Amino acid sequence: MTFADEVKSAVTTRAALLVVGVLALQLLFIASYVGALHRPDPTDVPFGVVAPQQVSGRLVTQLSDLPGGPLDPRAVSGEAEARRQIQNREIDGALIVSPTGATDTVLVASGGGTVLATSLTKIIKEAEGPRQRTVRTVDVAPASPDDFDGLSSFYLVVGWCVGGYLCASILAISAGTKPANRQRAAIRTAVMALYSIAGGIGGAVIIGPILGALPGSVWALAGLGALTVFAVGMITLALEALTGIVGIGLAVLLIVIAGNPSAGGAFPLPMLPDFWRAIGPALPPGAGTWVARSIAYFRGNAVTGPLLVLSAWAVVGTALTLLLSMRRRDTDGTRRAAAPGEADSPGSSSSLA
């Protein structure tokens, strides 16, 4: 046997294609993470301005014209309204201009991302310097002391997502990547649901009562976890049913390579480049991270949209998984129906027997 024959025997064409696919995923991983996170610059951060009427318009214009466009400022009627909008996650911070003194106040919310809160304070201090004004910072939604840089919610959601696609991959590969029939697909869906509930509760208990890393309702976090795990698991099962083992790679591409760096975890969404900022809220890691932070620090506000995103992934994944299994059953049934006719044909082995 020649060396070329040995190579063909050791590495089949299918294996070679899979290796090429893995290489592509590796390079995409590097490009996505480095592209999203190598230069976190605030851009168009929703920002409120509370100031006397005679200076409000001019100040909004000045902040809007800052080099690099870090802020998207808008006038707000008062401090109470600014605090309400921050709690509702409509804006990420606000400047409260004192009508009598020389000290103004910056409202931030480190629970939405410590790095962003720090950046906003720095931007406003630099902008206020030429006006001979000083700035004090008030954190209206502070991150927990045990939640370094506000990352715990992101890591929690990443853990749920990893569990979702790993469980789905095991369920599919254990008996072939394509469901043989509708019953098997239904069983896998039921197992995925039970696993999701266990994973959601377990993650919420670990990050809350056990580690104390996140405040907020344990049961609300558990519900979020169950939905996140199920959404990721079912879309993975659907991709595997559609494309076979390649579906695992597609799930990694969707959740890990595209979803994690765009989730707003390491750096909140306003600090990401436009592409990742655009796709992040539409993917499970980004939607889950947003909801986890809202539960922990923002009284559960502004969660309807992200929960609908997660629900849509879960519904689409479940529907595709079941529909593809029905198509598989129809194909198998057609083959079985054709078999007797083939057996009775003059040239068949049964007639010769």
Confidence of residue 261 (pLDDT cuts 50, 70, 90): very high
235, pLDDT greater than 50: yes
The predicted pLDDT at position 184 comes to 85
CA distance 115 to 154: 14
- Are the C-beta atoms of 180 and 332 separated by less than 8 Å? yes
Q: Are 223 and 288 in contact (CB under 8 A)?
A: no
- What pLDDT score does 5 carry? 64
What pLDDT score does 347 carry?
43
pLDDT-derived band at 328 (thresholds 50, 70, 90) equals low
Confidence (pLDDT) at 7: 64
pLDDT (tens digit per residue) in 28-69: 999 999 999 999 999 999 999 999 999 999 999 999 999 999
pLDDT band, very low/low/confident/very high, at 88 (cuts 50, 70, 90): very high
Confidence of residue 178 (pLDDT cuts 50, 70, 90): low
Determine the Cα–Cα distance for residues 116 and 181; give it in Å rounded to an integer.
Answer: 50
Helix (H, G, I), strand (E, B) or coil at 108: strand
Question: Above 80 in pLDDT, residue 341?
Answer: no
- Mean pLDDT for 303-310 is 98
140 residue type, one letter: V
Mean pLDDT of all residues belonging to the chain: 89
Is residue 302 within 8 Å of residue 294, measured between CB atoms?
A: yes
> Looking at residue 343, what is its pLDDT?
44
Residue 185 has pLDDT above 90, yes or no: no
State the average pLDDT over residues 72-99.
96
Residue the block writes with tokens 């098997």: 184
CA atoms 142, 145, 117, 215: torsion sign: negative
Which has the minimum average pLDDT: 16-20, 189-193, 267-271, 291-295? Answer: 16-20
Print the SS3 string covering 1-19: CCHHHHHHHHCCHHHHHHH
How far is the CA of 29 from the CAs of 35, 38, 251, in angstroms? 10, 13, 13
The confidence band for 181, taking pLDDT boundaries of 50, 70 and 90, is: confident
